[in-house]
A and B are shown apart, each in its own frame.
Chain A
Amino acid sequence: MAKGVLVDITRCVGCGSCVVACKMWNKLKHDKEAPALGKDAGLAAENWTAVSLVEITGAGDSGADKVWRFVKNQCLHCEEPACASACFSRAIVKTGAGAVVYNADLCVGCRYCMLACPFNIPKYEWDKVFPRVRKCQMCPERVQKGDLPACAGVCPADALTFGDRDDLLKQARERIAGGGYINHIYGEKEAGGTAWLYISDVPFEKLGFRTNVTTTPLPHYSESVLRLTPAVGLGWGALLTGMYVYNRRRNDVAREEAEMRISAGKGKGRKGGPRK
């Protein structure tokens, strides 16, 4: 059963435990110039998850004119990932456990996955001579052993719930039904569904989420074109062969007729001596 994580944005206090846990588990570096927590937080080669502080005006029910929300960003582990579809050497695969995992051994470094991701998640080690694509792997070694991903296991505010995706969707619906949430589970349908789901009490656009992502899985777009390849290849190949043979035959016939005309002319007698 595919696993996922439900992120409840109303519960995140911005402590950054998940950020530190991710860096500890994956042995990532800290960089003061590229913070992974706060207003300037962002994903980077060494920031596989980042918790951004978003100040929203005119939201929340406390009557305050400004409200703080913390949004945890990381790879959404799509059900049908665009990055895995884009990778032409199978360096990114969607595992049965639900994680979308990258293997640098097979990676050519073309960075098509970075371009394909509708959420602009994968980052790159530009400063390395042998660079790798970097993104959340959903702690596959931990999940394999039945443990939670590092971030979900450490959250002190119960903002991250790890479990089967179907269960999480059920939980999310229950929480929404209980009131105080926007009636939308981000990731339920976006990009054809993602393993990481979000619920919030503040509209998702205000939190910086891309809200115009197609609900058709992105691989379907390119695969519908690729599917035509065999037909086009065979059909066009047959047509070309046919045209070639036809035209060659036509030229051969024309040449034979021309030669016949010349030799016929020869037979009828020629001026001058034998042909040089």
Chain B
Amino acid sequence: MIAEQKWTFKITPVRIVLLGISALAAALMLYRLVFGLGASTNLNDQWPWGLWIGFDVLVGVALAGGGYSTALLVHVLGIKKFSPIARSAMLTSLIGYLLVMAGLFMDIGRWFNFWRPFTSWGYHSVLFEVFWCVSIYTLIQMLEFGEVATEKVQRPWHKFFKKIMPVLLIIGVLLPTLHQSSLGALYVIEVGKLYPLWWSMLLPVFFLLSSFFVGPAMVTVESLLAGRAHGHRPPTDVLQSLIKVSGYVMLVYLTLKVIDLVYRGATGLLFQGNLEGNLFLLEMVLGIIVPLVICFTPRLRSSAAGLASFGVLVVAGVVLNRMNVVFTGMSGALGGYYFPSLMEWTVSLGLVSIGVLVYLFVVENFSILPGQRADGAHGLKQDKAVKYTA
């Protein structure tokens, strides 16, 4: 007997706005496919990579890395304490990667050739590794979500998914290790062009570490937001321990950065007072040093405000770092001028909106957040009508 499937999607003002933006973005994406990059973006010969690569891809993949760091902690290292946030993290990651693929599809000039690297192997290219890794990883993530989905639909498949989960999880940690670092390795070939405050042979390590420590920060932000939306109290004790993991990795990151700058003799550039120097300092101070202070001060990290600040600052720091590598650090060598067009902004915003809407839908209909039943209903549902604020 097939139980009746109930699908809900609450309509709120915020969701209507998001739907509007998403629809507009979808229309613009179609426009871009029909009329080309020149008609929809401000990309030019001096700036071949812009907002869609810089933000949608590089920032998107970094922030979606919450999935693998959580998977590593919860499923590989078996730290059960973090399991309440595992599903949410992995869902965000899956949606994030799908959005990255959508953003990438928008950006590539010959989108009908997107499958070429599957058959024509440019294996000396870092991008080749990124391409294969991200493709397989997204597939893995979809399969991992199969375990969640089959709690509600196609239930006979659930046993199968449960059985293959361990393999999926291990590959699902291995692959991001490779491609998160590869995204950094993309810029290793920019030797002489990328500003020395960012260029380094350690770029892959830096990108890997930052993609790892931004995971807990993202999860923190998500959990606090989701908790507020569904009237939950956020699991602050879980989050506190989680961000300490971040903190330790950030310490390693900071140490390596300092050693790298000294080794390459680039420390003199820190206080030049120019745009590059100032933005680098901003990235390190606001994105690393201040969060470290919050993280290792018990009084600060135990409050919701402290946790929120940590989360937001670390995420902002990683976003700024990726933007610095793509834009600030390259501006000296590339010359010319680039500022994203209105369409570029709208599509990027639209993709995020679509992601948020999908997340909200899935959370409403499947067991993602702690305390949800298999059909997405909340344990607290029989008490009071819960007000959805998002």
Chain A interface residues toward B at CB < 8 A: 43-45, 82, 84-91, 104-112, 114-116, 118, 120, 123-132, 210, 212-214, 218-219, 221-226, 229, 232-233, 236-237, 240-241, 243-244, 247-248, 250-251
Contact = CB atoms under 8 A, between A and B. Distances in A.
A109 B112 CA distance: 10
Interface string B139-178: 0000000000000000000000000001001110110011
A221 B75 contact: no
Given A127-B36, A226-B123, A247-B76, 5 more contacts: A109-B113, A111-B48, A210-B192, A214-B191, A222-B125
* A85, A88, A226, A237: residue with the most chain B Cβ atoms closer than 10 Å: A88
Interface stretch (B10-18, B37-45, B356-364): B37-45
Contact of A106 (B34, B72, B113, B334): B113
A123 B47 CA distance: 10
B126 A222 contact: yes
B47 to A, nearest CB: 9
Interface of B: 34-39, 43-46, 48-49, 72, 75-78, 80, 107-114, 116-117, 120-131, 166, 169-171, 173-174, 177-178, 185-186, 188-193, 201, 204, 334
6 contacts: A111-B109, A125-B109, A129-B34, A129-B35, A222-B125, A244-B75
* A85, A87, A210, A214: residue with the most chain B Cβ atoms closer than 10 Å: A87
B185 A225 contact: yes
Given A107-B113, A129-B36, A87 B122 contact: yes
Contact of A213 (B75, B116, B122, B192): B192
What secondary structure prevails in chain B residues at the interface with A?
A: helix
B193 to A, nearest CB: 7
A44 B75 contact: no
Contacts of A222: 124-126, 185-186, 188-189
A255 to B, nearest CB: 11
A110 B43 CA distance: 12
Nearest to B204: A225
Contact of B128 (A43, A88, A107, A109): A88
A240 B78 contact: no
B49 A111 contact: yes
Contacts of B123: 226
A193 to B, nearest CB: 16
A90 B177 contact: no
Nearest to B130: A88
Contacts of A243: 76-77
B45 A104 contact: no
B44 to A, nearest CB: 7
A233 B35 CA distance: 41
A272 to B, nearest CB: 26
B174 A85 contact: no
A4 to B, nearest CB: 22
B34 A225 contact: no
Contact of B125 (A45, A88, A240): A88
B56 to A, nearest CB: 13
B108 A108 contact: yes
Contact of A130 (B39, B46, B110): B110
* A218, A232, A240: residue with the most chain B Cβ atoms closer than 10 Å: A240
B305 to A, nearest CB: 34
Contacts of B117: 88-89, 108
A236 B174 contact: yes
* B111, B112, B114, B190: residue with the most chain A Cβ atoms closer than 10 Å: B190
A244 B76 contact: yes
B38 A112 contact: no
Contact of A85 (B45, B111, B125): B125
A213 B333 CA distance: 12
Of all A-B residue pairs in the complex, the 5 with the closest CB atoms, nearest first, are A109-B109, A247-B78, A126-B38, A88-B128, A109-B110
Given A89-B122, A127-B38, A236-B174, A108 B113 contact: yes
Contacts of B107: 110
A60 to B, nearest CB: 27
Nearest to A118: B192
B120 A110 contact: no
Given A111-B48, A120-B334, A106 B116 contact: yes
B281 to A, nearest CB: 25
Contacts of B46: 120
Given A221-B188, A244-B76, A109 B44 contact: no
Contact of B43 (A108, A118, A126, A214): A126
Contacts of A129: 34-36
Given A88-B122, A109-B111, A233-B174, A218 B191 contact: yes
A114 B48 contact: yes
B170 A240 contact: yes
A126 B174 contact: no
Nearest to A82: B189
Contacts of A127: 36, 38-39
